[in-house]
Structure 1
Amino acid sequence: MRPQQGFTLVELVMVIVLLGIVATISVQFVALSTRGALDVSERQQRALQGVVISEQITREVREAFPLSVRENGQCLEWLPVIAGTTYESLTTGPDFEEVSIVPFGREVPENARLVVYGYGSAQSDLYGTSDPGPVSPAINEVGASDTTVGLSSSHRFRERSPQKRLYAIASPVSICQIGPWLYRFSGYTPSGSQPSAAALNGGSGTREVMSANLVGGSFNLRVTPPSLRRAAVVNFEFELSDRDGDETTRVSQEVQIRNVP
């Protein structure tokens, strides 16, 4: 009679244990590989996000009226240039409500303001409404081929530009960090003193979210004003965090603003 062949209980237990070890190692390998792929994806997303934010700020700041760029430790603020030209004559009596210009070559919307380019005014004057002063009150809509600009009220320009440079500017724009949020504020009333982030956040202007994952207090600013020999320079940096807060990505950028927009 032939003896029966098979596995003993000990052999079966050993096989089950070995299969369990192999399965555990395989699961850990797959989990670590997946986690690594997710980490790489999140780093790439933060890097792309940093590039987009940095490029948006850079492009907008480069279109700023050079003498208007300022910061208060919380916010970066500037006056956007809509169009530029030269003037034939500034406002004259008796009404002081019209400026004669070389056509802008593009339409300028109503409620923009005119500013004479020069170094004779304090920066706060660019945000003020003094009369006489370097910045006009709101203007009427200007066509691309119009040779005159009508002002909403009388105004005398205190400065003159040697090259008769004249620019149409829009309402101020600010970028501020509030907690983990990076906001862009626009459409608010200009003020001689730069408004705080809290004042802008509670104001009547338009608020747009640029980022929701900034590390607290990481939005650092430094503005070097322009001079007759060099352009203005804006340095800014910020730090983005991932969803779990375990890793961060720091972005730093330098922007040069030409003296003549």
Structure 2
Amino acid sequence: MVMPKSNDCDECELRLLREFQSRVADLEQDEDTCLRFLTAREFKIHLAEEMMRNSVEWRKTIGIDNYLNWVVSEAKEEDHIFKITGVNHNGGPVLWVPLGTWLARYWVERGKQEETTLYGYRILETAFREMKSRNNKKIVAILGIETLTYYKVSHVPTLKVLYAAFQSLEQNYPEILQSLIIVNAPWMFSIAFSFIKPILSPKTLGKIQVFNSEREKWLPALRQLMPDSAIPSDYLKSA
């Protein structure tokens, strides 16, 4: 567990953490998880408790603990690639999601909206468990928007899938992100971003950097956060 800054602040927040742990003891959550939820609600215990209880219920309702057993078609997995590419400079995982290449609209239009939404949850849970295995060091995520088209972002049911993923990030996986770097974003990305932006907290928004296709700008930003070995190889070509 990493507690914040000054000694006075440490003592106050540690006291609040202990009080919060006592109030949610029935949920059997570890100290780091309690701290993440408490931090997300600015150490307001009643809000953090409501958030955690809702999240625990959500996990039970959708069966997230069995996420590896969810049956997803092979073709669908090929169309929705994601990968843990390595470790960032702070010791946490690097998650790469080449979202621009996804064929989410294709599957949503064929009645697979729920399955596509669950796939988004699988990505979050995979990254979360990787973070837990690395002593709760936070995630750096790379969202690749190359090949994104207006056709893909102009479909409201598909945008709702993206909305559900980011909403779950806020509500059920608080404080797992160190940074989210969005690269190769064309102008139409603003359509999708304006759709999800209202549900993101100011703290989360402060962790997001958006870059267009100018590699000379986004590659140094990635290298500040991770070694080249964790950067997708295609992003290093001609670097």
TM-score normalised by L of structure 2: 0.22
Higher-helix-fraction structure: 2
